[in-house]
Structure 1
Amino acid sequence: MNGERGIIRQADIAREAGVSQSTVSQVLRGAGDLSRISLETQRRVLTAAKRLRYTTSPQQRTAVEKRHAPPLLGVHTFEPIFPTSAGDYYFEFLQGIEEQAGVEGCNLVLFTAARDEGGVRRIYRGDVNALGQAAGSVILGHRAHQDDLARLAADAHPFVYIGHREVPGFQISYVGGDYRTATGRIVDDLVALGHRTFAYLGEAVRYEPQADRWEGFSTALDRFGLTVPVPAYTQPEELAAQWLDTALAAGTTVILVESVSLLRVLHAIIGLRGLSVPGDVSIMLLVDDTASPGAWASMQVPRNAMGRRAVRLLTALVTDPIGDYERQILLPCTHTLEPSVAPPR
């Protein structure tokens, strides 16, 4: 039998997965990407941990014994995002949530509360917290409802938001991507290639992740003493060809784009103008295009790692609510400049 008195330890997982105990520790803490451990190795460790029924903390093992059932963690999305294919943007988030829940010895329940008049799924129905059946909840979605997050925090319901979110009056727990640092590094590389005149195309609805990208971009240009362009924040259907004409007339050689939907429209306009990418203008996408991987120079968001780290943090909040650990976490992002970025003419 593995482990002393039937308790599975990380050394048992290391033997099962054929890796070092240090690798197991990094993966189970949700730090595999930060430690540059390959995704294949991380999944081998998680599979071994799940097969051996490993639980990560003495507190959690005690909770399981007392309740005779694994802790129940909720997953709530503010809009319908359950993936229909592996190419869906949210697939890796949810896969990471499921993988880490298995490691933590928890069950998951998906909450699908009724929508409000704006089409956003709400957590509260009157004074009733629809997530109350769970010991704690992972929350994700593009359109967060601030009032619901504030009420959850006020009610002391343990939750972790996937993505950087700030709620006035509360220090909520979240796991997001470090978009500010990543965008600054992208600008570093673009300047190194010779780009000096930039344009910025952003989403009309601004949340913290969008603001982080812009701040990383503008701060980096300031650092180089380059002109910070006036950003265009718009809906895809409102993007006009005149915006591109004006940007190119001003000498723009590279355009940074916040969303795939904006990129699709921009690319169509570039084609209508008889221009090419990156021959006439370089394009940098500040998110990964999961539907067409490798088609654009882009930032790679560690979505699987964010899902796993969120569950890891939530488990800590449930089992050790006053413990001394980080509750607001930003994971590093990577990027590639191929194939839609080239030195300017």
Structure 2
Amino acid sequence: MKRSVSRQADVARAAGVSQSTVSMVMNGTADLGRISAGTQRKVLDAARRLQYAPTGSRRAVARTTPHLLGVHTFEPIFPTSSRDYYFEFLRGIEEQAAAEGCNLVLFTAAPDEDGIRRIFADDANRLRQASGSLLLGHHADREDLARLAYEGYPFVYVGHREVPGAAISYVGGDYRTTTGEIVDDLVALGHRAFAYLGEHERDEPQVDRWTGFAGALERFDLPVPEPVFDHPSGLTTGWLDQALAAGTTAILVESVSLLRVLAAMIGLRGLSVPGDLSVVLLVDDEVEIGSVPWATLQIPRNAMGRRAVRLLTTMLTDPDGDYDRQILLPCAHSLDGTAGPPPR
């Protein structure tokens, strides 16, 4: 007997969602529609159980001829717990690969003298066993990315990265827009004087955050402070004293390591957060400082991993198609906990 084919309505019923939600998840627009990662996961699980494939889509072809997708990390990042920064990226990759009917292989290599796991060794591409690969890591080797692009090897970077002379494919977070929205909300609370603590090493995600911050202040015709891009060990209470003397009431911070030093300095000066000073962390990493949650920018990690897999499989099945290969997904933010109106 011919096996019946599952439909979107079957998936919607099994996942307990509307058919339009199933459609958005399966065609890759769920993130733009603000459908939560949990709901998307339920839809993908139901689609996998029911062996659903969109009618006439290239993903249906991918299920009959499964691709082997590589995962390469430029530095050791595999998580040891669900609280790890990279956990949701990797879980999203695994979930979407299963939904696409693809297999995954992890590529590892001994780091070089700079601590970077290089892709090319003895003039050979270590990723060549896979049909295409997903690349992750804070500090990518730009020469390796440029060479992959030159040789035409299909890959997608999970995170915003640019390579001079090569238009590489990536799926990142729209940190610029969200950082600007954070400034908008702080200005609405009454803040007019800001300070900015940034990481010493400036890749595209850090640059995007600063650009969004400075651009928002310029829109309000507010002074743009001189940023501090430094290692945590370079910060002193003298910097905080100068910021406070300049009237600063809100500080945006790019990393947890910088936040730890700032929190210690605030404590030394006997100040309270957010009573005396509002602080927003521009990454939603695990923070165990004080007794209140920190206001944060929230990265769509799971969605970025899943969208990267969808983009890569599309590149493999339709290499010359007309579709976006550089994608920034919307982020969220929360000012709960450590952000409030400025002191009188």
Instruction: Render the CA deviation track for 1:158-203: whole Å, top value 9, x for unaligned.
Output: 1111111111111111111111111111111111111111000000
Question: What is the TM-score normalised by the length of structure 2?
Answer: 0.94
Shift of 1:297: 0.5
The answer to whether 1:312 aligns with 2:273 is no
Shift of 1:46: 1.2
Shift of 1:58: 4.5
Q: Pick from 197, 211, 221: which aligns with 1:201?
A: 197
Q: Which amino acid aligns with 1:157?
A: Y
Q: Pick from 171, 174, 187: which aligns with 2:170?
A: 174
Shift of 1:260: 1.1
Alpha-carbon separation, structure 2, partners of 1:264 and 1:10: 48
Change (3 A) 1:18 1:130: same
Shift of 1:279: 1.4
Q: Pick from 87, 111, 114: which aligns with 1:91?
A: 87
The equivalent residue for 1:259 is: 255
Question: Which moves more between the two structures, 15-24 or 103-112?
Answer: 15-24
Partner of 2:170, secondary structure, is strand
The answer to whether 1:297 aligns with 2:290 is no
Alpha-carbon separation, structure 1, partners of 2:57 and 2:26: 15
The equivalent residue for 1:155 is: 151
Q: Which amino acid aligns with 1:15?
A: R
Partner of 1:199, secondary structure, is strand
Q: Is the 8 A contact 1:257 1:285 kept in 2?
A: yes
Q: Is the 8 A contact 2:97 2:104 kept in 1?
A: yes
Alpha-carbon separation, structure 2, partners of 1:284 and 1:136: 38
Question: Which moves more between the two structures, 141-150 or 281-290?
Answer: 281-290
Shift of 1:52: 2.3
Alpha-carbon separation, structure 1, partners of 2:263 and 2:28: 37
Shift of 1:236: 1.2
Alpha-carbon separation, structure 2, partners of 1:197 and 1:231: 13
The equivalent residue for 2:98 is: 102
Partner of 2:328, secondary structure, is strand
Partner of 1:172, secondary structure, is coil
Q: Is the 8 A contact 1:202 1:232 kept in 2?
A: yes
The equivalent residue for 1:34 is: 32
Alpha-carbon separation, structure 2, partners of 1:277 and 1:10: 49
The equivalent residue for 1:20 is: 18
List structure 1 runs of 4+ shifted beyond 6 angstroms: none
Alpha-carbon separation, structure 2, partners of 1:8 and 1:129: 40
Shift of 1:342: 1.2
Shift of 1:277: 0.9
Partner of 1:95, secondary structure, is helix
Q: Is the 8 A contact 2:63 2:102 kept in 1?
A: no
Partner of 2:198, secondary structure, is strand
Question: What is the TM-score normalised by the length of structure 1?
Answer: 0.94
Alpha-carbon separation, structure 1, partners of 2:186 and 2:209: 15
Q: Pick from 109, 113, 130: which aligns with 1:113?
A: 109
Alpha-carbon separation, structure 2, partners of 1:283 and 1:211: 19
Alpha-carbon separation, structure 2, partners of 1:59 and 1:197: 52
Shift of 1:10: 3.0
The answer to whether 1:270 aligns with 2:233 is no
Q: How many residues align?
A: 340
Residue pairs, 1:230-249, within 5 angstroms: 230-249=226-245
The equivalent residue for 1:329 is: 327
Shift of 1:55: 4.2
Question: Which moves more between the two structures, 49-58 or 89-98?
Answer: 49-58
Partner of 1:212, secondary structure, is helix
Residue pairs, 1:52-63, within 5 angstroms: 52-55=50-53, 58-62=57-61
Q: Is the 8 A contact 1:55 1:105 kept in 2?
A: no
Question: Which moves more between the two structures, 78-87 or 288-297?
Answer: 288-297
Alpha-carbon separation, structure 1, partners of 2:269 and 2:149: 51
Question: Which moves more between the two structures, 291-300 or 91-100?
Answer: 291-300
For the aligned residues, what is the CA RMSD?
A: 1.8
Question: Which moves more between the two structures, 54-63 or 318-327?
Answer: 54-63
The equivalent residue for 1:224 is: 220
Q: Is the 8 A contact 1:300 1:333 kept in 2?
A: yes
Instruction: Render the CA deviation track for 1:303-344: whole Å, top value 9, x for unaligned.
Output: 111111000000101111111111110111111111101111
Alpha-carbon separation, structure 2, partners of 1:210 and 1:34: 23
Change (3 A) 1:338 1:143: same
Question: Which moves more between the two structures, 6-15 or 158-167?
Answer: 6-15
The equivalent residue for 1:343 is: 341
List runs of 5+ in structure 2 lacking aligned partners. none
Alpha-carbon separation, structure 2, partners of 1:134 and 1:60: 18
Q: Is the 8 A contact 1:88 1:291 kept in 2?
A: no
Change (3 A) 1:278 1:62: closer
The equivalent residue for 2:73 is: 77
Q: Give aligned-pair identity as a percent.
A: 68
Question: Which moves more between the two structures, 95-104 or 26-35?
Answer: 26-35
Change (3 A) 1:201 1:291: closer
